[in-house]
Amino acid sequence: MSRLLIKGAESALPTGSGTASTFDSATVVRVVNTSESSDHVVTVVESAGGTVVGSFTLVRATSELIEKQNSHAIFAENTAVRGSKVGYTN
């Protein structure tokens, strides 16, 4: 059974590609949609303002773990989506 190792403070995801965050070069980011009424799109880009790697809809009131390259950055369409740098531990 693995557990999360919290490695940074939670903060709202930026809302544009140009301000996308690497979350301090994280390779795993936990994202949570704090909205109870709206789903929001989360996007991973190669770098702030860079080419889109992929995106997904984060359903309201849920969380997901995103594994990414440390140089990749993340943004969301709404600041209701928050993120934190995490890791795995045994």
Q: How do residues 57-73 score in pLDDT, each as one tens digit?
A: 999 999 999 999 999 99
Query: Strand, coil or helix: what is 17?
Result: helix
> In the chain, where are the structural domains located?
19-84
Q: Quick one: pLDDT at residue 1?
A: 55
pLDDT (tens digit, 9 = 90+) per residue, 9-30? 999 999 999 999 999 999 999 9
Cα distance between residue 4 and residue 16, in whole Å: 27
Specify the 3-state DSSP secondary structure of 74: strand
82: burial class by Cβ within 10 Å (0-12, 13-18, 19+)?
middle
State both tokens at 8.
Answer: 């940074």
